[in-house]
Chains A and B, each alone.
Chain A
Amino acid sequence: MTIQAEPGKGRRRSPLTSIAISTFKTTGTILATMLGLLFVTFIIGRVMPIDPVISIVGERASKETYEAAYQAMGLDKPIIIQFFYYIWDILHGDFGQSLLNARPVAEDIRRVFPATLELATLGTFIGVLIGVPLGVLAAVRRGSWIDQIARFVALIGYSMPIFWLGLVGLLIFYGILGWVGGPGRVGIFYVDVVPSVTGMILVDSLLDGNWTVFKDAMSHIILPASLLGYYSLAYISRMTRSFMLEQMNAEYITTARVKGLSEWTVIWRHAFGNIKVQLITVIALSYAGLLEGSVLTEIIFAWPGIGSYITTALLSADMNAVLGGTVVVGLVFVCLNVFSDLLYKFFDPRAK
């Protein structure tokens, strides 16, 4: 899944020019993708059979109140004009106001995105920390019981409905065992205790040096993060395994072994060293997936993240909020993609 066009054909250019050209191309690609993304979202919002005016004025509004709100929202203008107005505002850094709660969408996103970022980062962390060694081990000991277990663990991860697992997890670890904190980001007594700097409570509490809040936040995030981590683990371990197998069968590995290098060096230095870049791409993709916000997990864990933000907004036709959220998520996705592409180009000799 690369965003880039084909690697440049034709005669060689000086490195500087080619960097300039590729930067230009990349920027163009990002812009085009973002614009398309916005347009599609915008159209979806407009064809949706939900009356956004009702979201604001409520179901009992009089005709006059309704008309006034309709005009104030600019809904009487043609769609294309509305779209241009919207793009114009975004270019000025204004995502507009949420139709629902009359707050600036940018402010809302600043509130909900860090929550998702925190969860996704920890989830990916868990996924990588367990998934990579598991994948390597499975490849090295191909066909052994550990390979079978790894495969099974991964397949279960792929196959389990997350909302069900989430509910059961909550019931067991919070309800019965009491090992973890309940739904929400932090216990009720710790709400707004530490000053919000990054919006991520784990980071903020560390910055503030407040260990009690950090521990409490950790006990709340750990269950949903483990769930997401499990899914990313399933994916990462499978991919690691398959990359490693490719390398293990390669000639240079045999050569290295013949040369008498220790198995440790062969596996980690040589084989693993060669899959690093591919692996980072995979991890970036899985990270991007989690950053979209896992709507279902967020609902079950009362986690005020971007996934449930966009969903709620969508279902009440709060298009400013949906567009704002989609732009942010889309941008993150595209950037991670470009990042892994660049990395690929930079490290992989074949791509040069």
Chain B
Amino acid sequence: MKKLQKLTAGLMFCVAATTFAIPAPQALAETPPDMLVIANRIDDITTLDPAESFEFAGSDVIRNVYGRLVNFDPLNLEKGYEPDLAESWTVSEDGKTITFTMREGVKFHSGNPVTAEDVEFSLRRAVILAKTPSFILTQFGFTPENVNETIVADGNTIRITTDKKYATSFVLNCLTATIGGIVDKKLVMEHEKDNDLGNEWLKTNSAGSGAYKVVSWKPSESVTLQANEDFYLGAPAMKRVIVRHIQESATQRLLLEKGDIDIARNLNPEDIAGISGKEGIAVDSELRGRLMYVSLNQNHPVLSKPKVVEAIKYLIDYTGMQDSFLKGQYTVHQSFLPKTYLGAIEDKPYSFNLEKAKALLKEAGVENLEIEAGVREAQERVEIAQSLQNTFAQAGIKLNITIGTGKQTLTRYRARDLDVYVGAWGPDYPDPQTNAGTFAYNPDNSEEAKATGLLAWRNAWDPGDLTAKTEAAVIEGDRDVRKKMYEDIQREFQARAPFAIMFQKIEQTGRKSNVKNLNLGGAITAVAYWPVTK
């Protein structure tokens, strides 16, 4: 008996010892000096092909891997687009043709020189593949049939001809988008399969000329980048960049505090408050382009009444949310162009006003309204929805919340199946058209049109004359006139659209204080790793 007990005790001790006392490897107080380690949510990456990629985390990777004709300087975003692979450009008399002259001496990671022919290939390829982001280019009239005439390389120059005269800034802004990434024609075509223009291969490999090349991408796990020593702006200081998928804010914070990562990109306001002031850790705030909005389905018999739409805009506790659970990460913003965009306005005509809302509802003759809101599973959205639920209830509107995954909620939203949608929208390229063209533009509101890409259509809203005004603003060449046009569109939109734009995002990043020069891309582009030093 004794023996048994002793043995058992001994065994248990051994296990306990191995379990808990395994010496943790000498915890490195910090990451290696030439390595940048980032915690981020990267499970949205589905491809690394610039002609196809359309998600935040994917854009982050591609901005660092592929050069573009024109690009932004991460350390001076206000300056707007600047020459990148193109050294200069000229615009034809009729304003329809832009001719770019290529920069000499830039090489792809493969060693192949970057030529006008590569640009021709990359842009034509994006149009022909017709993947999701292709509309950014095709809105200028490019089609798979006409690219041989509209996108043409000629020696050291590349000529782009649009179907109409557009504001040059609009065209160039679009070329700074992810889809404007220039790929290595020779390398890509070596990997072509079934006439896919190398799409299959480029999904997981890289063929760029940017500051970094892709070493590996493990879906929902990590992305590893290796510095391009021959980068034409100089070899980056960080030789290796590792982005690791960490879902939880608390986990990211623990990793940051322990020194296992340099940058944590998804900290919630509470964790930001928790690390603020800690030694060796700094917090950056950067205004981003993402907007948070509530929209009302106009197929709903009650929600389509203008008075009800107006009432709901008064039933949102904008500042209450901004100052509590959104603190520091969202700022009240009530028009569809994010701050820093051309034509952005700061008017905030709405605030939480229960009496006014009640009066409006009474005028509309609405009682006992019960509606369903679709929200995707994300902390701030669920909290916003619950706050809405609370304030709506005070005016007698019962809001039922249905939480789903992003895909679930989106499927229903696109099918016009939700009464209310609480969601976010991020601009696709740094031109006002990106948001005007979806919020205030819907040429055919019929069920059959299936314009599921347009937010106005998803909410079954016919914007009336705003559609025409938006079309007009796109082709206006004079910058100041164009600016004024967007301001007017937004004010009209604010007054009668079934959208209550609520907030603009501020991204708060926790970083080790020795990490310098990290720019996330502001409201207009994605993150840049090459200027970063430690």
Contacts and interface: CB of A to CB of B under 8 A. Distances in A.
Interface of A: 49-51, 54-66, 68, 98, 100-103, 108, 111, 126, 129-130, 133-134, 136-137, 140, 167, 170-171, 174-175, 178-184, 187-189, 191-192, 212, 215-216, 218-219, 222, 226, 229, 263-264, 267-268, 299-300, 302, 304, 308-309, 312, 315-317
B393 to A, nearest CB: 28
Contact of B407 (A65, A192, A315): A315
A101 B8 contact: no
B180 to A, nearest CB: 17
Nearest to A140: B4
Contacts, number: 186
A103 B258 CA distance: 34
B27 A178 contact: yes
B260 to A, nearest CB: 6
Contact of A316 (B55, B132, B224, B405): B405
B324 interface: no
B36 to A, nearest CB: 10
Given A101-B219, A171-B254, A300-B248, 13 more contacts: A56-B46, A59-B410, A60-B132, A60-B428, A60-B453, A98-B219, A108-B219, A126-B15, A136-B4, A189-B35, A300-B251, A315-B405, A316-B407
B513 interface: no
19 contacts: A49-B412, A55-B46, A58-B46, A59-B453, A61-B452, A62-B132, A102-B47, A102-B203, A130-B11, A171-B250, A175-B257, A188-B244, A188-B261, A219-B22, A229-B19, A264-B4, A299-B248, A300-B248, A300-B251
A102 B186 CA distance: 23
Given A174-B258, A263-B4, A304-B220, A62 B135 contact: yes
Nearest to A179: B24
Nearest to B53: A58
Nearest to B250: A167
Interface string B248-276: 10110011011011000000000000000
B220 A312 contact: yes
Contacts of B111: none
A181 to B, nearest CB: 6
Contact of A102 (B200, B260, B408): B200
A178 B131 contact: no
A51 B255 CA distance: 36
B20 A100 contact: no
Taking each of A167, A188, A222, which has the highest tally of chain B beta carbons within 10 Å of its own beta carbon?
A188
Q: Is the interface of A mostly helix, strand, loop or mixed?
A: helix
A189 B12 contact: no
Contact of A51 (B7, B261, B407): B407
Contacts of B204: 101-103
A103 B219 contact: yes
Contacts of A192: 216, 224
B98 interface: no
B155 interface: no
Interface string B102-140: 000000000000000000000000000011111100000
Interface string B26-68: 0110011001010000010111000000110000000000000
Interface residues of B, number: 71
Contact of A219 (B25, B134, B254, B451): B25
Contacts of A189: 28, 31-32, 35
A130 B411 contact: no
A219 B28 CA distance: 14
Please name the 8 residue pairs, one residue from A and one from B, whose CB atoms are nearest each other, closest first. Answer: A133-B8, A315-B405, A61-B132, A51-B411, A101-B219, A219-B24, A58-B54, A58-B132
A268 B27 CA distance: 43
A41 to B, nearest CB: 18
A241 to B, nearest CB: 13
Contacts of B135: 60, 62
Contacts of B410: 51, 54, 59
A191 B218 CA distance: 11
Nearest to B8: A133
Given A103-B204, A188-B242, A188-B260, A178 B219 contact: no
Given A56-B46, A219-B24, A267 B4 contact: yes
B221 interface: yes
Given A59-B410, A216-B25, A183 B246 contact: yes
Contacts of A66: 452
A173 to B, nearest CB: 8
A302 B46 contact: no
Contacts of B131: 57, 65
A187 B27 CA distance: 10
B529 to A, nearest CB: 16
Nearest to B410: A59
A74 B216 CA distance: 30
B387 to A, nearest CB: 24
Given A65-B131, A136-B8, A312 B43 contact: yes
B246 A181 contact: no
B5 interface: yes
Contacts of B43: 312
A226 B261 CA distance: 25
